[in-house]
Amino acid sequence: MSSSTESVLDEQGDYQWPWCQMGHFGINFIQSDDSKAYVEGDLTRAYIKDYDLLKASKRPKPEETEELIQTDLSEMSLKEDETEALGEASDKLLDEKDRAFEVLPKWSSDKRKGKKKKGKGRYNYHSFKEYWDVSCFWLTQLTWLNDFGEQMTEDNRKELTKQCDEMKPIYPIDHHENLLENSDYQNVTKKMIETNPEATFEEIYAEHCSIIKKQSEIDYHIFQTKEVTRRCKDMISRVKRLGYAPGFEETQFPAFYNLEDHSKIREKPVIKEIRYTIDEAYAKKFCGADPRDEKTDESTASTSDINIQQESSSQNNITNDNPSEIRFNFNPETEQHLIASNAEKLYANDPEISKYYWQRYRLFSRLDEGIIMDREGWFSVTPEAIAEHIADRVVRHNVSVVVDAFTGVGGNAIQFALRGAHVIAIDMDPVRLKCARENARVYGVEDYIDFICADFFDVAATWTMDKKMAPKVDAVFLSPPWGGPSYLKAKEFDLETGCCPNGVDIFDVSLKISPNIAYFLPRNTKVSQLTELAIKAKSRMEIEQSSLNSKIKTITVYYGKLAYREKSQKEEN
């Protein structure tokens, strides 16, 4: 077993759900101000399952509702069909599949080596110097032999030919494949000899070597630009195949951008060098289907759709005679419309909410024990199993105080507190925060959560301006509104325009509170933007897909010490 596999096993050993690392990458960027930046990160996936909660939510089976259940609970129905057909064998198969998670991907280099076609190999040289070190003898001597061989004694010629054969680098750059047919490398000292017939042998040889080196350097850079561009495209297609939205534009590749041309304004960082290991076979093996073929599933959608918000606020005002009067205490008598277990009746004519109601226990397994939610809460709360996993990831490595900056109805805050963290839960909507507090009470953790009803930007500004007011925060969790379920209809989700408020601003502000950030986002968020955040944070990153019952639902991007790091790297630091 490779050392990387061991450390992956070690790290995921205490996660509740199977977890795997699918890829690793390192990218060198040139930023708009010409400064350099390096980002390193991992692509990972958590395999979360909540069939039991889905099953518990299932509507009793009157004939007329059969069709609806099948659409709403498609994931569960699918599983049930399988189970019916396969009976016990199916359970066994699933068990084996679960156990298969323990076999984590091996770094793919061995497999690739086997597939490599002879003569087509490439070596990723780190610099011209590295290339020149391995090729200078061959380049200068072979071209010298070509130009002056006829003037040598036969023995000398033979000897030099032999040496050149021996010194040929295994991976010459494209321009040097047929070196002797390349006119840039023929008779390079001709001009010197013509203009200076008195030149000595040593002078001609020195000039020859210098011209060959200069020409090689030019050709090396052309080759390198093409190579990096090829690698950019290759990495992007691999990332896509794993179900991520890359978001990089061609103008960011070196071949499409002249790095030396300073006259152009670079809006986005340009890739100078890229290295990666991505094991696609692993994703296919464990997910069954190609993630791109997944049907859109919006049950975890975060939404602030205007219509919904309007309806939501009218709902919220049902019992508030005076809307300016904010009541933080939940009154079960007058606020029955918030009680989640009443939702079947309350939203009887609201098919959108019915859909979520028939999956209700996946949102809160203790829903019947007094969970309260406004209408938007039904759309936006993180499914409990995903929230559990995120808490598993965040509350470790000495993380004991977590800020949940957009608490909503509290799904995530509760899980952080259940893992033993002290949570500072912020939300600007008093009704939401009231729900979160009541829900925390249901889970017995309200004493471990401080609720702050305010704009996160104001809270952050206060903490940043007056350090004495600022608590010692170990990690920030961000789950801002994603701007309506339509986010999945677009190929890529833009962090700046898709989130409300702007997702990049949210990150900038959070960085002032803590470098350890977990960002909960749509699964199609642009990877390019997420790497730009890592540049700002000067941190490594991890983009973790949450696969819920084999469907990739969301991603959580970890920065700072929350990001996965191999054991050996941890030890080094």
Q: Does 12 bind ligand ADP (CB under 6 A)?
A: no
522 binds ligand ADP (CB under 6 A): no
Size of interface with ligand ADP, in residues (CB under 6 A) = 21
Among 216, 277, 365, 479, binds ligand ADP (CB under 6 A): 479
Calculate the alpha carbon distances from 425 to 190, 350, 362, 500, 559 in Å.
77, 30, 22, 18, 20
Q: Which residue, 256 or 328, has its beta carbon nearer to ligand ADP?
A: 328
Note whether 409 binds ligand ADP by CB under 6 A. Answer: yes
Contact of 515 with 539, CB cutoff 8 Å: yes
Closer to ligand ADP at the Cβ: 131 or 520?
520
Contacts (CB under 6 A) with ligand ADP, residues 72-111: none
With contact defined as beta carbons under 8 Å apart, do 508 and 526 qualify? no
Q: Which is nearer to ligand ADP, 487 or 559 (CB)?
A: 487
CB of 304 to ligand ADP, least distance (A): 6
**Between 411 and 430, how does the x/- string for binding to ligand ADP read (CB under 6 A)?**
x--------------xxxx-
- Which one of 26-34, 210-218, 306-314, 474-482 is the stretch in contact with ligand ADP (CB under 6 A)? 474-482
The least distance separating ligand ADP from the CB of residue 33, rounded to whole angstroms, comes to 30
For the bound state, the minimum distance from the C-beta of residue 97 to ligand ADP, rounded and expressed in Å, comes to: 29
21 binds ligand ADP (CB under 6 A): no
DSSP for 216-285 reads HHHHHHHHHHHHHHHHHHHHHHHHHHTT-B----GGGSGGGS-TT-TTS--SSPEEEEEEEEE-HHHHHH
One of 44, 277, 302, 510 touching ligand ADP (CB under 6 A): 302
Measured over the CA atoms of residue 500, residue 503, residue 505 and residue 507, the dihedral's sign is positive
Based on the shown chain and the rule CB under 6 A, indicate whether residue 499 belongs to the binding site for ligand ADP: no
One residue of 49, 79, 432, 551 binding ligand ADP per CB under 6 A: 432
**Close Cβ partners of 210 (under 8 Å, ≥ 6 residues apart):** none
Helix (H) or strand (E) holding 565: none
Looking at beta carbons only, is 228 or 367 nearer to ligand ADP? Answer: 367
Structure tokens at 511: 């960085």
List the one residue from 501, 508, 515, 567 that touches ligand ADP (CB under 6 A). 501
Q: Quick one: residue 187, left, alpha or beta (phi over 0 = left, psi -120 to 50 = alpha)?
A: left
481 counts as binding ligand ADP under rule CB under 6 A = yes
The CA-to-CA distance between both ends of the chain, in Å, stands at 24
**Residues 331-390 close enough to bind ligand ADP by CB under 6 A:** 376, 380-382
Taking the CB of residue 319, how many other CB atoms lie within 10 A of it?
14
Q: Which of 105, 408, 484, 503 binds ligand ADP (CB under 6 A)?
A: 408
- Least distance between ligand ADP and beta carbon 505 (Å): 10
Distance between CA 105 and CA 405 in Å, rounded? 35
DSSP-assigned beta bridge partners for residue 496: none
Stretch that binds ligand ADP, among 45-53, 224-232, 404-412, 483-491 (CB under 6 A): 404-412
Q: Which two tokens stand for residue 245?
A: 């939205």
Q: Where are the alpha helices (DSSP H) in 288-341?
A: 306-316
Pick between residue 40 and residue 305 the one whose CB is nearest to ligand ADP: 305
Q: Does residue 456 belong to the site contacting ligand ADP (CB under 6 A)?
A: yes
Question: How distant, in Å, are the alpha carbons of 66, 175, 192, 255, 268 from that of 250?
Answer: 49, 24, 43, 9, 11
H or E element in which residue 71 lies: helix 66-72
Q: Which two tokens stand for residue 444?
A: 């017995």
CB atoms within 10 A of CB 182: 14
SS3 content of the chain, % helix, strand, coil (to 5): 50, 15, 35
Does 316 sit near ligand ADP (CB under 6 A)? no
Verify binding: residue 326, ligand ADP, rule CB under 6 A. no
- How far is it, in rounded angstroms, from Cα 306 to Cα 412? 24
Nearer to ligand ADP, 43 or 473 (CB): 473
Cα–Cα dist 253/225, whole Å: 8
As measured in angstroms, the least distance from the Cβ of 65 to ligand ADP is 28
- Give the integer Cα–Cα distance in Å for 553 and 384: 13
Span 183-222, contacts to ligand ADP by CB under 6 A: none
User: Edge-to-edge, what's the strand order for the sheet holding 36-48?
Assistant: 270-278, 19-30, 36-48, 541-548, 551-559, 517-522, 475-478, 401-404, 422-426, 449-452
Residue nearest to ligand ADP (CB): 408
Contact between 492 and ligand ADP by CB under 6 A: the answer reads no
Closer of 411 and 522 to ligand ADP (Cβ): 411
Q: Is 253 in the site for ligand ADP (CB under 6 A)?
A: no
In this chain, which stretch among 104-112, 282-290, 477-485, 551-559 interacts with ligand ADP, using CB under 6 A?
A: 477-485
Q: Is 529 one of the binding residues for ligand ADP (CB under 6 A)? A: no
Sort strands 475-478 and 401-404 into parallel, antiparallel or unpaired.
Answer: parallel
Applying CB under 6 A, which residues contact ligand ADP?
302, 376, 380-382, 406, 408-409, 411, 426-429, 432, 455-457, 479-481, 501
